Structure 1
Amino acid sequence: MKTLIETIVSALVDHPDAVVVTVKEEADRIVYVLSVHKEDMGKVIGKQGRVAKAIRTVVYAAGSSQQKKIYLEISE
């Protein structure tokens, strides 16, 4: 899942080397924290959050086979 997020986001940003995904696994959920370069935040979020929503939709669909709830957070 981590590589899926990195692959999708790296294609969107100007600084693909600054894309970092960390995983926080808890008892009932998995949280993926996406960190990108400051200048690329707008590209990852998109107009009215459309790009971020699309990324989340793909991640949630890919993780639907797991027993835990999946979350994607975007941070600087």
Structure 2
Amino acid sequence: MKQLLETIVKPLVDFPEDVLVNVNEEDQRITYHLTVNKTDMGKVIGKQGRVAKAIRTVVYAAGSSQQKKIFLEIGE
């Protein structure tokens, strides 16, 4: 899943080397923390959050086979 996120986000941003995905796994949930360069936040979020929503949709669909709830947090 971590590679999937990196594959989706790196082509969108100007600084792909700053893309970082951290995973926090708990009993009933997995949280992915996506960190990008401050200047790339707008590109990852998109107009009215459309790009972020699309990324979340893909991640949630890919993780639906797991028995845990998946969350994606985007930060700088």
TM value normalised by structure 1: 0.99
The unaligned stretches of length 5 or more in structure 2 are none
* Residue identity opposite 2:2 in structure 1: K
* Residue identity opposite 1:6 in structure 2: E
The unaligned stretches of length 5 or more in structure 1 are none
4+ residue runs of structure 1 moved beyond 4 angstroms? none
Aligned-CA RMSD value = 0.3
The answer to whether structure 1 residue 15 and structure 2 residue 49 are counterparts is: no
* Residue identity opposite 1:17 in structure 2: E
* Residue identity opposite 2:45 in structure 1: I
C-alpha separation in 1, matches of 2:62 and 2:28: 17
C-alpha separation in 2, matches of 1:66 and 1:18: 28
Q: Which residue of 1 aligns with 2:5?
A: 5
**Shift of residue 34 of structure 1?**
0.1
- For residues 21-71 of structure 1, give each alpha carbon's deviation from its aligned partner in whole angstroms, at most 9, with x where no partner exists: 000000000000000000000000000000000000000000000000000
| SS of residue paired to 2:34 | strand
In the TM superposition, 1:46-57 aligns within 5 A as 46-57=46-57
Aligned residues with identical type, % of pairs: 75
The answer to whether structure 1 residue 32 and structure 2 residue 32 are counterparts is: yes
The answer to whether structure 1 residue 75 and structure 2 residue 61 are counterparts is: no
